[in-house]
A and B are shown apart, each in its own frame.
Chain A
């Protein structure tokens, strides 16, 4: 079997070429050969490519060393033997030092074939080694790429705890001097020592980490995890330290620090919401009972105040009772807002205009040392909101800002549209991607301590001087925003200020003209008959007295069924039904459904302290029933009655749209 062999001969003398070929033909090669004598010819022949180069040391225009260098410049692995007439030992050594495989004298060519075989073998070995080195280098770069694509901070420790490998995320953190336990800890450093020497705030954490890492290193623990906070002045961070063992043949551990800030914040937010929900439920229960009691107190006080021959001192005291009860009712209203029990009257609303007039109001009411800046979007900003409630939210936030800036400062109010893309990080946990309206209230005040920040939306939580505030303002804000299906988020920096960010669902339709609330005076009846349905006798009593004082005739029922019987008897004289919502036997809703069977045009007002559920809300929205929120004032009840009496009442056409529930107890 012959081995193919391409020989490139650098030689200017033809008979020397012959000599070489003659020798080579003695071996079992299937020979191809080329002869060159210039650099150009040589370079061209390299593309052939030859397996071996036999170079004469001295050529007229070229030489073996130059040829060797050109080879190396091109990173070519080709066997190279210097063949020459006379060569000094010095030159021979130099050739081999420079990388030639061998050298031969032309008069001793008998050794040529064995020299060629050995040179080919050497080159082959070198190529294989190079190939293996390159494969290793490649897999090393690949490993590095993989390691660096991990966003966690990774370090590999050997059995003694020396860092032998880190990824870019770790390096970056070390440079930025951010988290404890990652700072100034590059390759070569002993991580256990770093933990042992930690001082100050991180000492305790470092000790815990040390125990954990040693535990995993010694094999006593399968793995070790530790969550720890890393708060800077500007931003809160949470990390998870994770220590896992390397395979036992290798020893050592992988230490990673994983940023879990987002998860922590979401957890905290959820905990906060749970807490708020529980308090909300509690508050709602109390609020309902209080409303009934306060209704009675205020209405009786107002009724008494109308008595003609009242002594001045008595009137004054009654007025105080009335005022205080009214004040209590306001507090209850705030609690109901917080617990999302208030009745909302949302309308399409354009915020820019609204905020402009609101800011104008603020400028008149806030101290002069507070600068108010309004930054509005150029485009219309539309939301579906209850104007009064939203104004309450803004007012509470403005008052908080004022109290946070006793020495003056700037209150910046911003409103803009924001699209939250599906894969974008969420500005507040739980918010869904889509179109949102973002409203910001930012002050330059004293800021809120980190420990207080988590609790500021809780009712009765206040950082203000005791007695100055009931701690309901922000709870109310929270409830109202939630009831608008919105989100609120607060960030604060002590001594630099606080920023509240509200997100409300954006509305795409054009808003209606905002209806000015009618401020009607109390009206006097003309002897119309009103059927009052109320299960609680004190409330029933006071309403009855009030209606009579307002010059109405009154029929009283304890619940829906009794009302129904009365209505059958007096159908022709009853002008209006004034009913409580929640009653035993038959509630206000079902009473209405029964009544319209007999009298489709019946007029009815529902009194309630609760948010209507969806079905009831639909009914109220349809305009078939008026409602009156408890507790109400004399003025409110008289206005509601007058409005209802003046209306045309329900029509059968409208009524057909409503899905009637089965009558039930």
Chain B
């Protein structure tokens, strides 16, 4: 992605995805609705937490400058997705950030735990690519354009 410093104020979607193929697919789907321009991608759970909590290599960020949406994979290196979700949702400074889990896991336990931790939406990847692209576009449109977030 381009320089995060310049785009600091503009980040609307934080995509947490370790697999480059999955990243490309998600970005492509979002681009169909011109939603791919204000995305920042991180590759592991630890980097996601640093971004959200404005620590480490993201210490320059303002923690209250929340992305409009976090798209989170569950299977992540370093810190797993459920833990990232738990930390976002248990801190008053970040808990208002909408988090959507986008994963291939249909495990009952993952779904239940995600909701217990306060996930805003849980989307499983469909078998068909067109359906996948539509799902991603819809969730992008919904959270970025239709949904009314609380005042920042």
Contacts and interface: CB of A to CB of B under 8 A. Distances in A.
Interface of A: 46-47, 49, 73-76, 130, 134-135, 137-142, 145
5 contacts: A74-B31, A75-B37, A76-B31, A130-B28, A141-B19
Interface residues of B, number: 19
Given A75-B27, A138-B25, A145 B34 contact: no
B31 A75 contact: yes
A74 B130 contact: no
B21 interface: yes
A137 B31 contact: no
Contacts of B31: 74-76
Interface in B81-99: none
Contact of B2 (A73, A75, A130, A140): A73
B5 to A, nearest CB: 16
B34 A73 contact: no
A73 B37 contact: yes
B133 interface: yes
Contacts of A73: 2, 37
Contact of A134 (B19, B104, B129): B129
A256 to B, nearest CB: 22
B133 A145 contact: no
B58 interface: no
Interface in B20-77: 21-22, 24-25, 27-28, 31, 34, 36-37
Nearest to A49: B34
Contacts of B133: 134
Nearest to B133: A134
Contact of A74 (B22, B24, B37, B125): B37
B151 interface: no
Nearest to B37: A74
B127 interface: yes
Nearest to A130: B28
Contact of B21 (A47, A76, A141): A141
B25 A74 contact: no
B36 A141 contact: no
Nearest to B2: A73
Contacts of B19: 141
A222 to B, nearest CB: 30
Given A73-B2, A74-B31, A76-B31, A137 B36 contact: no
A138 B132 CA distance: 9
A139 to B, nearest CB: 7
Contacts of B127: 142
Contacts of A46: 34
A47 B33 CA distance: 8
B130 A75 contact: no
Nearest to B29: A134
Most interface-central of B36, B104, B129, B130 (chain A CB within 10 A): B129
DSSP class of B's interface residues: helix, strand, loop or mixed? helix
B34 A139 contact: no
Given A75-B31, A130-B28, A139 B2 contact: no
Contacts of A74: 31, 34, 36-37
B36 A134 contact: no
B28 A141 contact: no
A539 to B, nearest CB: 66
Given A137-B24, A142-B127, 6 more contacts: A138-B129, A138-B132, A139-B129, A141-B19, A141-B21, A142-B104
B10 to A, nearest CB: 11
DSSP class of A's interface residues: helix, strand, loop or mixed? helix
A46 B19 CA distance: 29
A75 B36 contact: yes
Contacts of B104: 142, 145
A567 B84 CA distance: 86
B19 to A, nearest CB: 7
A142 B106 CA distance: 13
Contacts of B129: 134-135, 138-139
Nearest to A142: B127
Interchain residue pairs A-B with the least CB separation, the first 3 = A75-B31, A138-B129, A135-B129
A482 to B, nearest CB: 37
A408 B36 CA distance: 71
A76 B34 contact: yes
B50 to A, nearest CB: 24
A96 B28 CA distance: 23
Contacts of B21: 137, 140-141
Contacts of B37: 73-75
A76 B36 CA distance: 9
A76 B34 CA distance: 7
B58 to A, nearest CB: 21
Most interface-central of A73, A76, A134, A145 (chain B CB within 10 A): A134
Contacts of A145: 104
A134 B27 CA distance: 11
A140 B20 CA distance: 12
A645 to B, nearest CB: 67
Nearest to B1: A73
Nearest to B28: A134
Nearest to A70: B37
Contacts of A130: 28
A145 B133 CA distance: 18
Contacts of B34: 46-47, 49, 74, 76
A373 to B, nearest CB: 38
A134 B133 CA distance: 10
A145 B106 CA distance: 12
B85 to A, nearest CB: 20
A141 B27 contact: no
Contacts of A142: 104, 125, 127
B25 A137 contact: yes
A317 B36 CA distance: 103
Nearest to A75: B31
Interface string B104-117: 10000000000000
B2 A141 contact: no
A65 to B, nearest CB: 16
B104 to A, nearest CB: 5
A50 to B, nearest CB: 11
B73 to A, nearest CB: 11
Given A49-B34, A134-B129, A138-B132, A75 B25 contact: no
Nearest to B38: A74
A25 B24 CA distance: 39
A383 B150 CA distance: 60
A82 to B, nearest CB: 22
A40 to B, nearest CB: 13
Most interface-central of A49, A75, A135, A138 (chain B CB within 10 A): A138
Contact of A75 (B22, B28, B125): B28
Contacts of A134: 24-25, 28, 129, 133
A220 to B, nearest CB: 36
Contacts of A135: 129-130
A44 to B, nearest CB: 11
A73 B3 CA distance: 12
A53 to B, nearest CB: 14
B39 to A, nearest CB: 10
